[in-house]
Homo-oligomer: A and B are copies of this chain.
Amino acid sequence: MKEFDLIGNYFAKGGFTRKDVVLGIGDDAAVTRVPAGQCLVTTTDTLVEGVHFLPGTEPDAIAHKAVAVNLSDLSAMGAEPAWISLSLSLPSIDETWIKAFSDKLHSLSKYFSFQLIGGDTVQGPLSITITAQGFIPDDNQIMRSGARPNDWIMVTGCLGDAGVGLDLLKNKIQIDHLEHASYLKNRHWFPTPRVLAGTTLRRIATSCIDISDGLIQDLKQVISRSEIGALVHLDKLPISEAMGKNIENVVDAITYAATAGDDYELLFTVPEEQRVNIETALASYNIPVTCIGQITGATGKLDLRLNEQPFQFDIDELGFEHFS
């Protein structure tokens, strides 16, 4: 099958279409319109087989994750998704695989109202690069650099599930409770990008980042960019029922929650006067949110506490390292 057939048969049709797309798939480039008063927000993320997902991962999970990690980056800026471009590198043409991949992509495009506007298909090792574009009202972007001393540190959802799910898939750990095990694996395969939370945080959060490399690793980015310090109460990290009931050692559970990557929850800071507002707004959308600590003036310092006592993790490097 030629590239043109592949694109025509599986990608050019079946997804969400938007009125702001002047020209979608099928020419040298796509043409779109950014609404007046909005800035364009652009992010690119690549997933490589064996690095970002296990060999043999189902195509729908790969498609889901490739989209989710990009929408998560848009959400961390407070942006709403509009269009994505897909570069798909495939070792060979497997139509069953491509159909499952493109079906999931189209279903996500309808759920999140973005349109696939173009891309590239090449022969090569299995790898997916997505560039996602979205909008944010002028000057409303939420940056990593805006956290201020005394701001509360908040996170959406539960932390560590994806890390436990990955260890289950790698047979590093075992969980007998089938429903819990399945929930945790699904949190690894199908992370939820916090699109609605992201747009809700505009004008309220002082800083925001998505948790892709692990809470501590990503919080360090905020600390560095905002030139502040942070105090985190590890005992307050939100843990799912599935994780809490099956990872019985508290330090193990906290290690997953604080250092495992791929949760794609949002980590953000809010000043005291906005805390109730944001809790109310997110609650109205059924998005769980937890306060896990506070920004301090101790520039560059990350102060971890467990039950009010200073705590140090017993590992050298925390969070996902991109080159090992």
Contact = CB atoms under 8 A, between A and B. Distances in A.
Contact of A79 (B29, B44, B74, B83): B29
Nearest to A136: B31
Contacts of A87: 44-46, 87, 129
A77 B27 contact: yes
B39 A83 contact: no
Interface of A: 1-3, 6, 22-23, 26-34, 36, 39-48, 50-52, 73-74, 76-77, 79, 83, 85-87, 89-90, 92-93, 117-125, 127, 129, 131-134, 136, 138-139, 141, 143-145, 208-210, 225, 321-324
A138 B36 CA distance: 13
Nearest 6 CB-CB pairings of A with B = A3-B322, A48-B124, A29-B43, A28-B76, A131-B131, A129-B129
Contacts of A127: 89, 124-125, 127
Contact of A40 (B26, B40, B41, B48): B40
A124 B77 contact: no
A31 B141 contact: yes
A79 B30 CA distance: 11
Contacts of A22: 39, 139, 141
Number of copies: 2
Contacts of A90: 323
A28 B52 contact: no
Given A29-B41, A51-B123, A120-B129, 19 more contacts: A23-B141, A26-B225, A27-B77, A27-B141, A27-B143, A28-B144, A29-B43, A29-B79, A30-B43, A31-B39, A40-B40, A42-B117, A46-B89, A46-B122, A47-B122, A48-B122, A123-B324, A125-B125, A125-B127
Contacts of A23: 141, 143
B74 A29 contact: yes
Contacts of A2: 321-323
Given A36-B36, A117-B42, A129-B129, A122 B322 contact: yes
A220 to B, nearest CB: 10
Contact of A44 (B131, B208, B210, B225): B131
16 contacts: A2-B323, A6-B323, A22-B39, A26-B225, A28-B76, A29-B43, A32-B39, A42-B131, A42-B133, A46-B120, A46-B124, A48-B123, A90-B323, A122-B322, A124-B127, A125-B127
A98 to B, nearest CB: 11
A118 B42 contact: yes
Given A27-B77, A210-B28, A123 B44 contact: no
A50 B124 CA distance: 9
A33 B29 contact: no
Contacts of A125: 48, 124-125, 127
Contact of A131 (B41, B85, B321, B322): B85
